[in-house]
Amino acid sequence: MARIPSAAVAAGGLVGGYSVARWTKKRPLGGAVLAVAGAAAAQRWRQQAGGTAAGALTAAYVAAFAGSHPLAKKVGAWPAVFGVAGAVALASWAVADRRG
């Protein structure tokens, strides 16, 4: 069975977390999705690229989540979420996935 790239897990966590929070109107539930996907991605990053890279990518994941909020005020919620998810996916691919 093929493994899901960590870039897809990270981007899916950002998009999925927002989706769940928006459609259920339960922000903690969206946060749980975000956290579980982030932890899964961090574990894969550590396996694929080492601890330092995993730490940097985890910081980028958290920064993307935080940065999507002010960005959403300028471009809208969905474009902001997709934009930061794409940025994290690209960084994840460049640092971890393309090695494998």
Q: What mean pLDDT is reported for the chain?
A: 95
In contact, 53 and 45? CB cutoff 8 Å: yes
In contact, 45 and 96? CB cutoff 8 Å: yes
Residue 85: per-residue pLDDT: 98
Residue 51 has pLDDT above 80, yes or no: yes
d(C-alpha 75, C-alpha 3), whole Å:
34
- Cβ contacts of 62 within 8 Å, gap of 6 or more: 38
Mean pLDDT of 12-29: 98
For 1-10, what is each residue's pLDDT tens digit? 458 999 999 9
Residue 1: per-residue pLDDT: 44
Tell me the whole-structure pTM to 2 decimals. 0.93
Residue 99: per-residue pLDDT: 73
- % residues pLDDT > 70 (the chain): 97
